């Protein structure tokens, strides 16, 4: 079946993380949304519909990694196609429809639609054209997926997503090593090749499975509770405490305490401090003692910033939403529900606002814009430290975000 995964016009609800990537490339559990979508949809033909500014990203970074050829922003032809919202979270088998139909959520937003509409294009979706609106006249079908409405949903569903991803794994291809460490419920502990477990570390899969990617290292006396995902080449510092529901992306270095949070790749949280119920982007550096509060003293629901407005998250536990390339000072303390935009530079530790826009530079002397050229210079330096080549696409994305972030954040 021809599958079209579309980003849609509400991608900005996933800022600051979706500022720098298509929304369907966000991670949850052990994989990205699109990896889950392809796993359960099993397309014979694939198309992606994204913002114009994300076309190069898809063509250069996403398509080469996909298990099948795909097109980007190509309108529909005469063949029927299943349109799938890129914000859908697929956790179970998907039954393909056999007749034209549509699945709408409670807000009348499209989860999926099986259509035959030659010429329908991503511009129709992003602009909510009359042609797109007319799809609502199709017969309704029962929902088979969840439609995430913000990063808060991805955080809240992460533990369940970890377990669902684990269920797809087969038996480990090599025996678990023996040594001076502790594996609790070891049949639910998956260790890839080259994993290093230091003396005294504990991997406790009593509550859920633990996956440790190839050549990751778990430091001495660190404790990891499942369900949990630790990506390849990660370094878990000695005496780190990782609680259930946590996903840590590749090449990250973490220490202190982390609970029910998603950290994307190449992020440094090496020192003490607490990160809980948070979503943290790529290439973030959290200074020693950086802490995200995740609950109000009143035990009420936490508010956060979505689409430039303070809204109720519907959650009693919510930490911070931290965009790519954020840097924080020693002893930075974020209130529950904080929003830290792309390339936020936090140069002071206390009395931080709950909303820090993209390209902001907070200092003891006052807050000021973080100049784009300086941000690019620093980012190039950070990439070089990890042997990551700087490309024109990296610079284009940074310049694009500097242009659009004020529109979507304020």
Instruction: Tell me, yes or no, if the two domains 2-149 and 159-356 fold the same way.
Output: no
Distance CA 145, CA 190 (A): 27
CATH architecture of 159-356: 3 Solenoid (2.160)
Q: What's the confidence (pLDDT) of residue 108?
A: 84
**Is 30 a residue whose pLDDT tops 90?**
yes
pTM: 0.95
CA nearest neighbour of 281 among 7, 18, 33, 10: 18
**Is 102 a residue whose pLDDT tops 90?**
yes
Arithmetic mean of pLDDT over the chain = 95
Determine the CATH number of domain 2-149: 3.90.550.10
By residue count, the chain amounts to 410
Q: Where are the domains of the chain?
A: 2-149, 159-356
Cβ count within 10 A of residue 153: 20
Mean pLDDT of 44-66: 96
Owner of token pair 């970890």: 162
Distance CA 134, CA 120 (A): 11
Distance CA 345, CA 173 (A): 44
pLDDT tens digits for 362-376? 998 888 999 999 999
Distance CA 323, CA 18 (A): 9
3-state secondary structure (DSSP) of residue 78:
coil
pLDDT tens digits for 56-100? 999 999 999 999 999 999 999 999 999 999 999 999 999 999 999
Q: What's the confidence (pLDDT) of residue 175?
A: 79
> How many Cα neighbours within 13 Å face the side chain of 179?
15
pLDDT tens digits for 200-226? 999 999 999 999 999 999 999 999 999
Q: What's the confidence (pLDDT) of residue 351?
A: 77
Contact 15, 407 (CB under 8 A): no
3-state secondary structure (DSSP) of residue 64:
helix
Report how far apart the first and last C-alpha atoms of the chain are (Å, whole number).
Answer: 41
385 token code pair: 């430290």
Q: What are phi and psi of 25, to 5 degrees?
A: -95, 5
**Is 410 a residue whose pLDDT tops 90?**
no
pLDDT tens digits for 167-193? 988 777 777 888 999 999 999 999 999
CB under 8 Å, gap of 24 or more: what pairs does 352-358 form?
A: 354/305, 355/305, 357/405, 357/406, 357/409, 357/410, 358/16, 358/19, 358/323, 358/401, 358/402, 358/405, 358/406, 358/409
Express as a percent the part of the chain with pLDDT over 90.
Answer: 92
**Is 350 a residue whose pLDDT tops 90?**
no
Q: What's the confidence (pLDDT) of residue 13?
A: 95
């Amino acid at each position: 079946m021809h599958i079209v995964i579309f980003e849609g016009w509400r991608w900005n609800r996933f800022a600051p993380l979706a500022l720098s990537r298509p929304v369907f490339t966000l991670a949850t559990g052990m994989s990205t949304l699109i990896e889950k979508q392809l796993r359960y949809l099993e397309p014979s033909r694939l198309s992606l519909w994204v913002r114009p500014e994300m076309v190069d990203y898809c063509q250069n970074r996403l398509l080469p990694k996909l298990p099948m050829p795909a097109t980007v922003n190509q309108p529909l032809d005469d063949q029927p196609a299943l349109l799938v919202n890129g914000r859908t979270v697929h956790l179970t088998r998907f039954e393909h429809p056999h007749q034209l139909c549509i699945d709408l959520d409670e807000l009348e937003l499209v989860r999926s639609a099986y259509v035959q509409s030659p010429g329908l294009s991503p511009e129709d979706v992003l602009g909510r054209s009359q042609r797109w609106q007319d799809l609502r006249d199709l017969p309704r079908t029962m929902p088979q997926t969840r439609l995430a409405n913000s990063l808060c949903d991805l955080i809240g569903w992460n533990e369940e997503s970890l377990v669902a991803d684990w269920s797809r794994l087969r038996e480990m291809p090599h025996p678990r090593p023996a040594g001076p460490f502790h594996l609790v419920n070891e049949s639910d502990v998956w260790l890839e090749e080259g994993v290093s477990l230091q003396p005294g570390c504990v991997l406790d899969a009593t509550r859920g499975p633990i996956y440790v990617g190839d050549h990751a290292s778990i430091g001495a006396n660190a404790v990891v509770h499942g369900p949990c995902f630790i990506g390849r080449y990660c370094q878990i510092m000695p005496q780190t405490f990782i609680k259930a529901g946590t996903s840590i992306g590749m090449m990250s270095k973490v220490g202190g305490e982390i609970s029910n949070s998603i950290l994307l790749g190449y992020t440094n949280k090496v020192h003490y401090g607490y990160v809980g119920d948070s979503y943290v982007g790529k290439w973030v550096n959290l200074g020693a003692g950086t802490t995200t509060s995740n609950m109000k003293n009143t035990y009420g629901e936490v508010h956060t910033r979505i689409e430039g407005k303070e809204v109720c998250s519907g959650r009693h536990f919510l930490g911070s939403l931290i965009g790519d390339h954020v840097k924080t000072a020693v002893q930075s303390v974020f209130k529950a529900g904080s929003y830290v935009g792309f390339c936020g530079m936090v140069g002071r530790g206390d009395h931080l606002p709950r909303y820090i826009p993209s390209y902001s530079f907070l200092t003891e002397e006052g807050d000021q814009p973080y100049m784009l050229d300086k941000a690019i210079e620093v980012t190039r330096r950070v990439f070089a430290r990890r042997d990551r080549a700087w490309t024109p696409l990296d610079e284009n994305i940074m310049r694009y975000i500097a242009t659009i972030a004020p529109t979507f954040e304020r």
